[in-house]
Each structure stands twice: as structure tokens, then as C-alpha cells.
Amino acid sequence: MSTTTGKAAESAKVQAGPGTVKSPAAGPKGSRSRRKPSLGMQNMAGWLFSTPFLVLFLVFMAVPIIATLVMSFTDFGLRNVTHPLDANFIGFENYTKLFSDEKFLKSLFNTAYFVVIGVPLTIFLGLIVAVLLNNGIDRARTFFRVGFYAPVVTTIVAVAVVWRFVLDPSDGLVAGLFSEVGLTAPDFLGSEKLAMPSMIAMAVWRNVGTVMVLFIAGLQAIPTEVREAARLDGASIWQEFRGITIPLLRPTMLYATVITTIGYLNVFEEPFVMTQGGPSDSTLTVSLNMYREGFNFFHMGYASAMAYVLFVVIMGITVLQLRLLKDNTK
């Protein structure tokens, strides 16, 4: 890319080592015929093209994932940030401690609450909007689609700040709506009962667009002949929806459910900005709890154990969803 055309490979060798595979020079043994490059060449090229990603993956992902596991069996603390090897091995102590830690159990419960209410709502609303956009209207379809998708792309921190104000009981948008009909708005984020539902509302608002786009793509993949055949047979719109649309959307539904669930299980920014876990830990999620234990209190071994518990929960739920939803198709 950088230097001129011609024998680009020669210059590429200098600036980006890994990809340099200009044919014969690279492997002395490979070429059995001059005209058709051998499979040995491709083998070599394949690995050279993979190297940059693999190196980054190894250093910044694979090793840290394993390191988290190792750390979770130690008393890794602030001191160990500079002297990691001095951390003491303490076996399963962090894990046993977790399950008697009321704060952690509460954060687990809060996260579950968020997922159990939030995911179905997001999927349901996303499906409704997609079906309406796909079948109900011809005009302004793009306009609506852009509108529903816009929250997805915006900076979550900024959006959370905005929602904090929108829900402000005295001068927020929702307070305004309440006062229009002569009511006083409750303190949504300041109430132990309402803080989490408010956060769920915001998450649904933000993520409905993703699910909508997935469903639109899924709907458009359904062959029109199938629908037309159903119509000729006199199927009502509802029958068409139940009998054709829903079954054929199963794969999309599966994918949308899994990614939404994974996203919601990791919820962090919303409580961090909107409530900081309060009031009285009612919006403390596992991720926020882990962040605090790890980076505010530097109980990094303990926080690592939390990260792994969350990871196991996520994997477990994902596998379960894949099973349940796949089996239903048969």
C-alpha cells in the first residue's frame, strides 16, 4: 500500500514483515512445479497472514484469560500489581468467600433481574417493530429504521447521563409528562424498587434497534413464494405470522436472544453512570461489583474469581439457550 506498484512485495518485506510471501523466495523446498504454487507455499502464507492477529490475541486476550483464572486462586492485591509473582496461592478461598458474600449475591440477583426482564422485552419489541416495518408500510421505512437504530450507535456513557436527567423527579422529561396529567413523578433512580426497572427501560430503549435490524434481515430472507402460497390458501395475517414467520425466524431469534443475553449479563455503564450501584446496592451488577473490588479496593484475586463466576454463568446460559431454542425447531 505505502510504496509504489511494481514489485510491491520487496518493499512490503521491509515495512510489514509477516505478510511477505512473494512466491519463490520464501520457501526453498516448496515449489514442485514452476507454474502452480505448491500447497507448502499456501501453508506458509497462511501462517504468516495469521501471525499479527495471533500475537495480539495471545498477548492481550489468551494470556490474560488464563491469568485471570490463576489470579482467582491467589490473594492478588495492590502490592502485586508491581510484584505479581509475590501473590499467595490460596486455593478456592476466593470462590467460597463469594458465595457467602451478600453483596456479591445481591449483584448476582440484580444482574439476573436485569436479564430476565430485559431480554424478553427487547426481543419482543424488536420483533414487533421489524414486522411492522417489513409488512405494514412502504413509505418512510428507512426513516423509521434509522430512528429506531439510532440509540444503538450512541455513546452509552452520554446516553446514561441523559437518562439520568430524563428520569430526574423534579425537572426531568418524565417528571414533565407526569405533571401534564397532574401527577408527581416518583424518584425513579433514587428508589430501591424503581431504580432497576428504570435501568431496564433504558437498556431496552437502547438495544431494540439491534434486534430489529436482525429480524428485518431474517424476515427478508423468507422467500416471498412461501408467504404467497399461504395467502392463496387463505391464511389470515395472524396465521401467516404464527405458521410461517415465527418458525422461519427461529435462527434469528436464537442469535438475537444469545447476543442480547450476553450483553445484558455484562451490564456495567448504566449503573456506573446512573446510580453507581445504589440505592442500597439495588442496581449493583456483577460487572460493577467486580470493577469496584478490583480497581477501587484492589482485591484483584477476589475480583478475578467474580469474573470467572460471571463467565461460567454466561457460558452456561448461552449453551442452554442454544440447546433449548435449537431443539424447538425440530
Q: Which of 162, 194, 222, 230 binds another protein (CB under 8 A)?
A: 162
200 and 189 Cβ atoms separated by less than 8 Å: no
Element (H, E) at 35: none
Answer yes or no whether residue 14 interacts with another protein by CB under 8 A.
no
Q: 271 and 283 in contact (C-beta within 8 Å)?
A: yes
Q: What is the DSSP track for 19-32?
A: G---HHHH-TTT-S
- The residue among 80 and 110 lying less far from another protein, judged by its C-beta, is 80
Q: How many residues lie near another protein (CB under 8 A)?
A: 118
Eight-state DSSP code of residue 36: S
CB of 200 to another protein, least distance (A): 15
Q: Which three three-digit cell numbers place residue 203? A: 437498556
Whether the Cβ atoms of residue 74 and residue 87 lie closer than 8 Å to each other: yes
Q: Is 93 in the site for another protein (CB under 8 A)?
A: no
Please pick, from the candidates 95, 109, 113, 144, the single residue that binds another protein as defined by CB under 8 A: 144
Amino acid identity of 21? V
Residue 211 Cβ vs another protein, minimum distance, rounded to whole Å: 10
What is the footprint of another protein within residues 234-263 (CB under 8 A)?
252, 255-256, 262
120 is a site residue for another protein (CB under 8 A) = no
Report d(CA 167, CA 190) in Å as an integer.
Answer: 10
Of 100 and 224, nearer to another protein (C-beta) is 224
Which contiguous run of DSSP H or E holds residue 145? helix 141-153
The secondary structure of the chain in percent helix, strand, coil, rounded to multiples of 5, reads 70, 0, 25
Among 77, 222, 269, 325, binds another protein (CB under 8 A): 269
Tally the C-alpha atoms within 13 A of residue 281's C-alpha that lie toward its C-beta.
12
Q: Does 147 bind another protein (CB under 8 A)?
A: yes
Q: How far is the CB of 46 from another protein (least distance, A)?
A: 3
Among candidates 180, 156, 151, 176, which has minimal Cα distance to 166? 176
Q: How many residues does the chain have?
A: 330
Scan residues 163-192 and list those touching another protein (CB under 8 A): 163-166, 168, 170-173, 175-176, 179-180
Q: Which three cell numbers stand for residue 148?
A: 429506531
Least separation, in Å, of the C-beta of 291 and another protein?
7
Q: Interface with another protein includes 106 (CB under 8 A)? A: no
Using DSSP, how many helices (H) and how many strands (E) does the chain show? Answer: 18, 0
Q: Which of residues 290-319 bind another protein (CB under 8 A)?
A: 290-291, 294-295, 300, 303-304, 307-308, 310-311, 314-315, 318
Q: Does 194 bind another protein (CB under 8 A)?
A: no
The correct pick among 98, 123, 196, 216 for binding another protein (CB under 8 A) is 216
Going residue by residue from 46 to 75, which x/- string records binding to another protein, judged by CB under 8 A? Answer: xx-xx-xxx-xx-xxx-xxx-xx--x----
